[in-house]
A and B are shown apart, each in its own frame.
Chain A
Amino acid sequence: MMAKDQATMDVTLTMDTAQPRRLDQMVQGVLGGAMARPEGPLKVRGAATYAAEHAVADLAEGVLVRATITKGKVKAIDEAAALKLPGVIAVLTGGPLLRNPAQGQASEAPEQVLPEVHYFGQPIAVVVADSFENARHAAQTLRVTYTEAKAEVDPETASTVERPKKSQIETGDFDAGFQAGAHQIDALYHTEPHTSAAMEPHASIARWDQGRLELWGSYQMLKHNVAELADAMGLPESKVRIHAPYVGGGFGGKLGIAPEAVAAAHAAREIGRPVRVVMARQQVFDMTLRRTETAQRLRLACDATGKITALAHEDRVSNLPGESYSEPVAQGTHFLYGGADRRFTHEVARVHRPAAGSVRAPGEAVGMIALECAVDELAEAAGIDPVELRLRNLPKTAPKGDLPFSENALGRCLKEGAARFGWDKRGTTASRRDGDWWVGLGVAAAVRTNVLEESIARVTLEPDGSATVATDMTDIGTGTYAILSQIAAEMLGLRPDQVTVKLGDSDLPKSSGSGGSFGAQSCGSAVFLACQGLRAALAKRLGTTEEELTLKDGTATSGNRRVPLADVLDSGLSATGHIKPGDTEDDFAIAGYGAHFAEVRVHAFTGEVRVARMLGIFSIGRVLNRLTAESQCHGGMIWGIGSALSEELQHDRRDGRIVNHDLAGYHVPCHLDVPQLDAVLLEDTRDDQANPIQAKGIGELGISGAAAAIGNAIFNACGVRVRDFPATPDKIFPHLPFDDWG
């Protein structure tokens, strides 16, 4: 339903200057509140359909086969024997099969290297049969022979180490500055590798229809995924459509097209029948992207007043040869602490472990564990309270590039958080004991860089006065369905239940997708702009201006004229909003800020750590939905508990394989590991430079720094400084003060 004035209704904005707070002038009053998710009733009845659950007729089942060597070549696969097994339709190897998933926003196929093998667990074939059991049996009994080559798997001793130029930064004279400090800290930290482990395993159903590929998948960023899948299959993008209406968690693990999608597409094309491929949980561990382990050396020096004067953050991460991604470990450091003399080095060891990529808050999630624990060590050395030391070091401009901050409420979060948490009750090191448990408090700053991505959305006012939002954006549990209906309802004067949100279909207008905490603000801005276009068109029809027009409860008011919205819509109105990043991201340092506080109990004899209380306080600009935003904070903070205490992928030292590749071996936090949490959002902040809705990301800010608060609380509780995370009991109990054995 194109209106004649379509061209004037579509709105494009490049974010070159601060934008007015138009949403604050709207009167519907539905944005920001604790609105329940509109898709909630489907989810609680099991009626929301995830990737593997779409009803596609005549499905064959594919099961992936993994390599059981680390490096070399597949010599032969005994297909003949497999094909004799009951129900087996095909054994496919080589061709377009992927080595590992695409990195986020790659928009091109990842490496396709078969018959070569580059890591233990790499997919080498897909077996297709008439049933899952038949396919699995054939896959498990498939006879594969290899020629093996030697492979390096240890990042510490790897012979190939790259030092990307842009990440080696020296300002001032670090060595001299460090020596001159009144207090110095020089500490080596390690974090073990992590994995996303979304509860929904990677799954795809592929169907071909006259040369066009339709895929139901569990993916976060459809426009990039279409490009990646098309490239992998040798198709133009116009021949690929992806559906992902519900995604059972992503956390970075579903940013790029993964092996099961290409296996399903390839198999379906070969056998002329739709194919479903679902990764077994172990395969999700083996063949999707992990977060690298890190080794980080932190050197900090401060003057007698606690002001940081010199700072070095040097790290080593790893990845498979051929992957351009490397974890930006020091990213948060650039936003947090000044000091004239600075050094950053970043090394990427090339090893044949499964490929590394983005996992929730790449960079900050691990970089800030080391940084914020080291700052705690510095506070201890200088004899200054750790909250106070951080307050004395609030930079006026961003340390990197000397850019002005767009909005930075770190100081406020530290002070308000400390007051709410009862920080003044924190005792000296190892001074509080409750039975067999040491009790202590810890703090850490939170920061996460904020990014706006190009995004398009279409909003339609239907003839009956209801509205439809359409974009290829996904909701991976983040609340997209809720916040987009709230933004449109606020702008158009409707109840949120009068707004239908259509997501997760690559044929819809192209959005940022979900990733990097940019989804809500990017696609939310596109919806906002489309609504502005609609408001302008309505104003014109009513002979007024957009500024003069009030929309509330389905009624348009201008001056003393009041009209039901449906009366001015005729056949309906449709507008497209298009947001693009612009100069503000170069002119300002834009990031979300916050602070974490934790109270832990450390068992005096076993070293077991329990989190008793945790408070996170965050400043993210405009809060779009208090309920879903707080849930995101909880998620991040709990991931912080996981990375502090239990999560670690363990690689076999001989062949690099992930040994603990299931949920019994890789310990994500469970109910009893997590107390009720306090997540506080500063509601009155706005970031005018970030985007026209003044909102920043929240999904990753909540993890950034969280584990450090726990590490620091462990030190306060029992005096043991853990520098290797996770802080499992074996790293604590040998160092516990045992003078009270009695």
Chain B
Amino acid sequence: MQISLNINGEDHKVDVDLRRSLLDVLRHDLALTGTKKGCDHGQCGACTILLDGRRINSCLSLAVMHDGATITTIEGIGTAEDLHPLQRAFVAQDGYQCGYCTPGQIMSALAMLTEAEEGWPSYISESLEAEPDLTDDEIAERMSGNLCRCSAYPRIRQSIAEARAQMRAAK
């Protein structure tokens, strides 16, 4: 079946097997291999992308469910010459080791920061109404769907905090 996807601002028409995940469409059909497959089961977060602005595990969604969707992947947020503040911070803070979970961490962080801006509380937030205070623990809770077996967690969160400060200052 043919579907259309807008990915990183570009329109694509893809003939997809009904069983094909959104993740495999990106990786196999469109050669967008920046989005990673760590488990294919929604258990690791390596495949995180933005679907219509929200983060999802692309391995858990069939491509045919998303005809007409707008998608952002790691390839769409910065370039070699002009990295996104999150990407810059991960490099500067050593917010990774092997780098395999990294695109997922960054895409997840990007959406997480938006969620916080919009006032979403997390499981550990003190108040459901107050503007979330993104402490290290709050970031940790909100990022716990992204596993990192290299265990770069402390510096992933430092990278996110640094990028957030820069993004706010730039506003």
The interface residues of chain B lying within 8 Å CB-to-CB of A53 are: 27, 33
Nearest CB in chain A to that of B100: its residue? A248
* Cα of A672 to Cα of B90 in the assembled complex, Å: 19
Whether a CB of chain B sits under 8 angstroms from the CB of A157 is no
Q: Is the CB of B33 within 8 A of A676?
A: no
Q: Is the CB of A198 within 8 A of B98?
A: yes
Chain A 581-620 against B: per-residue CB contact (8 Å), 1 yes, 0 no? 0000000000000000000000000000000000000000
Q: Is the CB of B33 within 8 A of A49?
A: yes
Nearest CB in chain A to that of B150: its residue? A477
Binds B, one of A374-382, A630-638, A730-738: A630-638
The interface residues of chain B lying within 8 Å CB-to-CB of A248 are: 36, 98-100
Q: Is the CB of B103 within 8 A of A46?
A: yes
The verdict on A48 contacting B149 (CB below 8 Å), with A199-B44, A634-B154 known, is: no
Binds A, one of B71-79, B113-121, B125-133: B71-79
Q: Is the CB of A45 within 8 A of B97?
A: no
* Cα of A137 to Cα of B19 in the assembled complex, Å: 10
The interface residues of chain B lying within 8 Å CB-to-CB of A627 are: 94
Nearest CB in chain A to that of B141: its residue? A672
The interface residues of chain A lying within 8 Å CB-to-CB of B136 are: 675-676
Please give the distance in Å from A415's CB to the nearest CB on chain B.
25
Q: Is the CB of B83 within 8 A of A133?
A: no
Nearest CB in chain B to that of A34: its residue? B94
* Cα of A578 to Cα of B155 in the assembled complex, Å: 35
Within 8 A of A (CB), among B58-92: 73-75, 78-80, 83, 86-87, 90-92
- Looking at B73, B99, B101, the one whose CB has the most chain A CB atoms below 10 A away is B99
* Cα of A247 to Cα of B97 in the assembled complex, Å: 10
Q: Is the CB of A199 within 8 A of B40?
A: no
- Looking at A44, A200, A247, the one whose CB has the most chain B CB atoms below 10 A away is A44
The verdict on A670 contacting B17 (CB below 8 Å), with A46-B75, A248-B99 known, is: no
* Cα of A53 to Cα of B20 in the assembled complex, Å: 17
* Cα of A489 to Cα of B145 in the assembled complex, Å: 39
* Cα of A251 to Cα of B97 in the assembled complex, Å: 12
Which residue of A41, A55, A199, A669 is within 8 Å of B98 (Cβ)?
A199
Q: Is the CB of A671 within 8 A of B152?
A: no
* Cα of A249 to Cα of B37 in the assembled complex, Å: 13
Whether a CB of chain A sits under 8 angstroms from the CB of B147 is yes
Q: Is the CB of B151 within 8 A of A43?
A: no
The main secondary structure of chain B at its interface with chain A is loop
Nearest CB in chain B to that of A281: its residue? B39
Q: Is the CB of B91 within 8 A of A45?
A: no
Which residue of A47, A137, A638 is within 8 Å of B151 (Cβ)?
A638
- Looking at B38, B92, B96, B151, the one whose CB has the most chain A CB atoms below 10 A away is B151
The interface residues of chain A lying within 8 Å CB-to-CB of B99 are: 39-40, 42-44, 48, 246, 248, 477
Q: Is the CB of B91 within 8 A of A44?
A: yes
Q: Is the CB of A45 within 8 A of B80?
A: yes
* Cα of A248 to Cα of B97 in the assembled complex, Å: 9
The interface residues of chain A lying within 8 Å CB-to-CB of B153 are: 634, 638, 669-671, 674
Q: Is the CB of B87 within 8 A of A200?
A: no
**Total cross-chain contacts (CB, 8 A):** 192
Which residue of B38, B73, B94 is within 8 Å of A628 (Cβ)?
B94
Nearest CB in chain A to that of B44: its residue? A663
Whether a CB of chain A sits under 8 angstroms from the CB of B28 is yes
Number of interface residues of A (CB under 8 A): 63
The interface residues of chain B lying within 8 Å CB-to-CB of A47 are: 34, 75, 80
Q: Is the CB of A55 within 8 A of B91?
A: no
Within 8 A of A (CB), among B1-41: 17, 19-20, 24, 27-28, 31-41
- Looking at B17, B73, B86, B141, the one whose CB has the most chain A CB atoms below 10 A away is B17
Within 8 A of A (CB), among B135-169: 136-137, 139-141, 143-158
* Cα of A246 to Cα of B87 in the assembled complex, Å: 18
Q: Is the CB of A281 within 8 A of B41?
A: yes
The interface residues of chain A lying within 8 Å CB-to-CB of B37 are: 52, 201, 278
Q: Is the CB of A663 within 8 A of B43?
A: yes
Which residue of A44, A46, A628 is within 8 Å of B33 (Cβ)?
A46
The verdict on A36 contacting B92 (CB below 8 Å), with A246-B99, A249-B97, A672-B141 known, is: yes
Whether a CB of chain B sits under 8 angstroms from the CB of A662 is yes
Q: Is the CB of A280 within 8 A of B40?
A: yes
Q: Is the CB of A663 within 8 A of B154?
A: no
Chain A 365-393 against B: per-residue CB contact (8 Å), 1 yes, 0 no? 00000000000000000000000000000
The interface residues of chain B lying within 8 Å CB-to-CB of A201 are: 37-39
The interface residues of chain A lying within 8 Å CB-to-CB of B74 are: 44-46
* Cα of A245 to Cα of B28 in the assembled complex, Å: 20
- Looking at B90, B97, B157, the one whose CB has the most chain A CB atoms below 10 A away is B97
Please give the distance in Å from A571's CB to the nearest CB on chain B.
31
Whether a CB of chain B sits under 8 angstroms from the CB of A485 is no
The interface residues of chain A lying within 8 Å CB-to-CB of B141 are: 671-672
Q: Is the CB of A132 within 8 A of B151?
A: no
> Could you list some 27 contacts between A and B, CB below 8 A?
A36-B94, A41-B83, A44-B90, A44-B102, A46-B73, A46-B102, A47-B80, A48-B99, A49-B33, A134-B17, A198-B98, A198-B149, A199-B98, A199-B150, A200-B98, A201-B39, A247-B98, A248-B36, A248-B98, A251-B149, A477-B97, A630-B94, A631-B94, A634-B154, A664-B41, A670-B145, A671-B146
**Apart from the given pairs A41-B91, A44-B83, 18 other A-B contacts in the complex at a CB distance below 8 Å:** A44-B78, A44-B106, A47-B80, A49-B33, A50-B33, A53-B27, A132-B24, A199-B148, A248-B99, A248-B100, A249-B150, A251-B149, A628-B97, A639-B151, A664-B43, A668-B149, A670-B153, A672-B141
Residue positions of A touching B, CB distance < 8 A: 36-37, 39-50, 52-53, 55, 131-134, 137, 196-201, 246-251, 278, 280-281, 476-479, 627-628, 630-632, 634-635, 637-639, 662-664, 668-672, 674-677
Residue positions of B touching A, CB distance < 8 A: 17, 19-20, 24, 27-28, 31-41, 43-44, 46, 73-75, 78-80, 83, 86-87, 90-92, 94, 96-103, 106, 124, 136-137, 139-141, 143-158
Please provide the 7 A-B residue pairs with the shortest distance between their CB atoms, ordered closest to farther: A46-B34, A477-B98, A248-B100, A43-B99, A477-B97, A638-B151, A40-B91
